[in-house]
Chains A and B, each alone.
Chain A
Amino acid sequence: MQDRDIYELLAGKLEDAELAWREAGPEAYALVPAARIHEAAIFLREDPRLSFDLLMCLSGIDWDGYDESGKGKSVDILGYNPDGTPETSDRVAAGDLGVAYHLYSYRHDHKFAMQVRLARDNATVPTVSDVWPTADWHEREAWDLLGIRFAGHHDLQRILLDEEWVGHPLRKDYQMPDRWTEVPLAGQPYSKNPFKQDNAPPAGGDDSGEG
């Protein structure tokens, strides 16, 4: 079944929800309101025409600073200054957070992609770990790295980072820490190019793209 048809079925099932269909690049996805995602998940798995039994990937996304025009002018992440101190920025992050679900059905051999948009100050979405148990660890990772809460998850704890870590590193406004417990993280001052004074390519170099 084509993913547009699956979207129609889903929209038909969730009649009063405001679904949207986005075609962005190689893959199109359905934008589902956060409150209805659990219902959508159950429908997608249980309906015999769809039977999406594999949640391939559940990713958290931080849409802050995304350049909608497609010209690549998204805001850079914060790193370290050349003198070794963490970069800071006065910019206040205001973008949405999001979760992307990619589903596959072994029975019918079709795929589907969904996304959810969440407001930054209230980033909560119902869990789908009771529908697809693999989401358990994926949601924990999204919480750990992006701070997205999954309501109803049985044990939403950090998974990759230490339990005492503060902050959610994959957010665009995350400032690099300058120390972890007593270990300084911002190390020696460095120059972006320790071998030359500027970033120009070597003279007579091959511009074929192996950069």
Chain B
Amino acid sequence: MATDDRTPAAAGGWSETEDLPGLRSELLEINMGPQHPATHGVLRLLVKTDGEIVYEVKPYIGYLHRCAEKIAEGCDYKQWTVYTDRFDYLAPMNCNFAYVTAVERFLDFPVPERAQYIRVVCAELQRIASHLIALGTFGLDMGAWTPLLYCFREREEILNLFERLCGGRMLYNYMCVGGVRFDLPEKWREDVLEFVRWFEKNKIDDYNTLLSYNKIFIERTADVGVISVEDAHAYGCTGPVLRGSGIQWDCRRNDPYAVYSHFEFDIPYGTGEVGTPGDCWDRYMVRVREMAESCKIIRQALRGLPEGPILADEIKRVLRVPAGSCYTRTESAKGELGHFIIADGGTKPFRNKVRSPSYCNLSVIEKIGRGLMVSDLVATVGSLDIVLGEIDR
């Protein structure tokens, strides 16, 4: 094998130091393979490094591809909701929400208010749960073992609440086209308010003390993996990745759906507080602050919860969706989750394309991976908060 094209110098004048004449040096090609403790799922990163410094990162995906979009063309609109849980399996309520909102754009009758409020509460609780995992695993990638368990302890509470609500701890299939499946159980509302009060008062400060403002953590994440605003727009990054770069844009505020326009909440964004705007720390901190904002939304939603039905009366056993096409987007925990649905007037969608946030967020790693160290690459992939179920569908 010719070594010429594998030397750093031949590959484009990469090395900052001159290659010593007579000393053969090569780029080391390593595989952070589909099985790896840090790639957050079955993701393969083919990394070419010059010692510790990454020269090129090439992601290979598709290990979790389950052809859900093809299945969508073969089953009813209402039957397919259960597949959406399996996309972002760490935030299934958000995935349900995106799909049912997309289908309801075609229908000419409204969804009951009570159902919308319950949906918002579930989505925000789910956002907190998803961000807890994001924070915990991000800390774990940095070597902080303890915050992960604290985050899981809080997530247990949320999962218990969801289990009382709909019976599932991880995959819910709770929202359906036209409303939600079950009404709130006894005392659920009070327990959620209690959880939110407990979480907001104690836990977020815990994480800030233990991890966020820890000097070593800041050294590892500040100025690392900076995504500029141009890159974020160009590569379609949305969600905390975009907000970490300084853009205060949120689908719930700027392109509202469901009843989000009834609530008041801030949009946290990255300001380069401890480093450059758009670094890993900013993206991490956006998630921490978003959890506090979700608590506000939950409280407002539960206080204003109206009485009424939870499922639209016009939903028949057989749902025919009028013909047309539309792209509908929502703010999932990971970013902008959208469905492009082409309906033909029948019971099955003609085409259902899922635009998942992690798919676009991950593509930016090819651009910003160059020049990072291997440890920084792990940190950056962790800060993008990807879920392979969503990427591969």
Contacts and interface: CB of A to CB of B under 8 A. Distances in A.
Direct contact between the two chains A and B in their complex (CB within 8 A) = yes
A137 B365 CA distance: 12
Contact of A161 (B62, B74, B254): B62
A210 B350 CA distance: 22
A56 B353 contact: no
Interface residues of B, number: 57
Contact of B67 (A69, A158, A169): A169
A134 interface: yes
Given A72-B320, A74-B346, A74-B350, A134 B235 contact: yes
Contact of A26 (B74, B247, B324, B346): B324
Given A159-B61, A209-B316, A134 B324 contact: no
Interface size class of A (residues with CB under 8 A): 35 or more
Nearest to A27: B326
Contacts of A137: 359-360, 363
Contact of B236 (A55, A59, A79, A211): A55
Interface string B325-364: 1110100000010101011111110110101000110010
Contact of A54 (B62, B233, B322, B350): B233
Chain B residues touching A, majority SS: loop
A132 B236 CA distance: 8
B311 A72 contact: no
Contact of B234 (A25, A29, A62, A134): A134
Contact of B325 (A25, A106, A136): A25
B144 interface: no
Contact of A71 (B247, B342, B345, B360): B345
Contacts of B69: 145, 170
Interface string A90-113: 000000000010100010010001
A77 interface: yes
Chain A residues touching B, majority SS: loop
B320 A136 contact: no
B344 A66 contact: yes
Interface of B: 61-62, 65, 67, 69-70, 73-74, 76, 78-79, 105-106, 176, 178, 181, 233-236, 247, 249, 254, 311, 315-320, 322-327, 329, 336, 338, 340, 342-348, 350-351, 353, 355, 359-360, 363, 367, 392-393
A57 interface: yes
A54 B236 contact: yes
A67 B319 CA distance: 17
A77 B178 CA distance: 26
Contact of B311 (A133, A161, A209): A209
Given A57-B355, A211-B317, 14 more contacts: A24-B325, A25-B325, A26-B105, A27-B326, A53-B234, A57-B340, A59-B353, A60-B353, A74-B348, A76-B74, A132-B234, A208-B315, A209-B319, A211-B318
Nearest to B327: A102
Interface of A: 24-27, 29, 53-57, 59-62, 66-67, 69-74, 76-77, 79, 100, 102, 106, 109, 113, 132-134, 136-137, 145, 158-162, 169-170, 201, 207-211
A102 B347 CA distance: 25
26 contacts: A25-B106, A25-B324, A26-B106, A53-B234, A56-B327, A56-B355, A57-B327, A57-B340, A57-B353, A60-B353, A66-B344, A67-B345, A72-B345, A72-B347, A74-B348, A113-B327, A134-B363, A137-B359, A162-B62, A201-B317, A207-B316, A208-B311, A208-B317, A209-B315, A209-B317, A211-B79
